[in-house]
Structure 1
Amino acid sequence: MGGSVSCCFSPAESPKIHRRQVELDECLITTTEDVSEDTGTYLQHISDRELPDELAQEANPSDHPRASTLFLNKSQTDVREKRKSNYMNHASPGPLTKKYSSCSTIFIDDSTVSQPNLKSTIKCVSLAIYYHIKNRDSNRSLDIFDEKKHPLSREKVPDDYSVVDPEHKLIYRFIRTLFSSAQLTAECAIVTLVYLERLLTYAEIDICPCNWKRIVLGAVLLASKVWDDQAVWNVDYCQILKDITVEDMNEMERHFLELLQFNINVPASVYAKYYFDLRSLADDNNLSFPLEPLSNKRAKKLEAISRLCEDKYKDLSKSLMRRSVSADNLVGVRNSQAVLS
Structure 2
Amino acid sequence: MGGSVSCCISPGESPKILRRHVDLDECPITTTEDVSEDTGTYLQHISDRELPDELAQEANPSDHPRASTLFLNKSQTDVREKRKSNYLNHSSPGLLTKKFSSCSTIFIDDSTVSQPNLKSTIKCVSLAIYYHIKNRDSNHSLDIFDEKKHPLSREKVPDDYSVVDPEHKLIYRFIRTLFSSAQLTAECAIVTLVYLERLLTYAEIDICPCNWKRIVLGAILLASKVWDDQAVWNVDYCQILKDMTVEDMNEMERHFLELLQFNINVPASVYAKYYFDLRSLADDNNLSFPLEPLSNKRAQKLEAISRLCEDKYKDLSRSAMRKSVSADNLIGIRNSQAVLS
* TM-score normalised over the length of structure 1: 0.75
CA contact (8 A) 2:124 2:281 kept: yes
Q: 1:93 to 1:254 in 2, by over 3 A?
A: same
Secondary structure in 2 matching 1:65: coil
Query: How many residues matched?
Result: 341
- Give the distance between the partners of 1:227 and 1:263, measured in 2 at CA: 14
In the alignment, the residues of structure 2 paired with residue 295 and residue 254 of structure 1 have an alpha-carbon distance, to the nearest angstrom, of 49
CA contact (8 A) 2:126 2:172 kept: yes
Does structure 1 retain, via aligned residues, the 8 Å contact 2:2–2:228? no
The DSSP-based 3-state class of the residue aligned with 2:139 is coil
Match in the other structure for 2:18: 18
Q: For the residues of structure 2 that align with 1:26 and 1:183, how far apart are their CA atoms?
A: 52
User: Is the Cα–Cα contact under 8 Å of residues 2 and 254 in structure 1 kept in the other structure?
Assistant: no
The aligned residue for residue 283 of structure 1 is 283
Post-superposition offset of 1:300: 3.6
The 8 Å contact of residues 58 and 67 in structure 2, kept in 1 or not, is answered as yes
Distance 1:112 1:262, change over 3 A: same
Q: 1:26 to 1:235 in 2, by over 3 A?
A: farther
**24-33 vs 245-254, which moves further:** 24-33
Which has the larger displacement, 94-103 or 62-71?
Answer: 94-103
Hey, what's the Cα distance between the residues in 1 that align with 2:137 and 2:169?
A: 22
8 Å Cα contact 1:107/1:293 also seen in 2: yes
Residue 27 to residue 249, structure 1, CA distance change in 2 (3 Å): farther
Q: 1:323, CA displacement in angstroms? A: 22
Q: CA RMSD in A?
A: 14.1
Q: Contact between 2:124 and 2:278, CA under 8 Å: does it hold in 1?
A: yes
Superposition deviation, residue 57 in structure 1: 5.7
Moved more, 216-225 or 15-24: 15-24
In the TM superposition, residue 95 of structure 1 has moved relative to its aligned partner by 2.9
**Gapped runs of 5+ residues in structure 2?**
none
Checking the alignment, whether the CA contact within 8 Å between 2:192 and 2:223 is kept in structure 1 is: yes
CA distance in 1, matches of 2:156, 2:23: 26
CA deviation profile, 1:264-284 (whole Å, cap 9, x unmatched): 000000000000000000011
Report the CA distance between 1:108 and its aligned residue: 1.6
**TM-aligned CA deviation for residue 294 of structure 1:** 1.4
Partners of 1:31 and 1:124 lie apart in 2 by 49
Question: Following the alignment from structure 1 to structure 2, what is the Cα–Cα distance between the partners of residues 33 and 112?
Answer: 50
CA distance in 1 between counterparts of 2:156 and 2:28 reads 27
Alpha-carbon offset, residue 297 of structure 1: 1.9
- The 3-state SS of whatever aligns with 2:11 is coil
TM-score (norm 2): 0.75
- Post-superposition shift, 1:96? 2.0
Question: Which residue in the other structure is 1:227 paired with?
Answer: 227
1-side partners of 2:297 and 2:183: how far apart? 28
Deviates more, 1:8-17 or 1:320-329: 8-17
Q: Residues 132 and 333 from structure 1, CA distance in 2 versus in 1: closer, same or farther, beyond 3 angstroms?
A: farther
CA contact (8 A) 1:9 1:235 kept: no
TM-superposed deviation, 1:302: 4.4
| CA deviation map 1:155-205 (0-9, x unaligned) | 000000000000000000000000000000000000000000000000000
After the TM superposition, list the runs of 4 or more consecutive aligned residues in structure 1 that deviate by more than 3 angstroms. 1-57, 300-341
- Measure, in 2, the Cα distance between the counterparts of 1:340 and 1:131: 77
Shift, 1:320, TM fit = 18
Query: What is the rounded CA distance, in whole Å, between the counterparts of 1:54 and 1:330 in structure 2?
Result: 49
Q: Deviations over 1:219-258 (max 9, x none)?
A: 0000000000100000000000000000001000000001
Report Cα offsets for 1:29-88 as digits up to 9, x if no partner.
999999999999999999999978964762311101111100000000101100110110
Say which one has the larger Rg.
2
Could you tell me which runs of 5 or more consecutive residues in structure 1 were left unpaired when the two chains were aligned.
none
Percentage of pairs with the same residue: 94
Q: Report the CA distance shift for 1:9/1:141 in structure 2 as closer, same or farther (over 3 A).
A: closer
Looking at structure 1, the residues matched to 271 and 296 of structure 2 have their Cα atoms a distance apart, in angstroms, of: 31
Question: Is the 8 Å Cα contact of residues 41 and 334 (structure 1) preserved in structure 2?
Answer: no
- Helix, strand or coil: the match of 2:95? coil
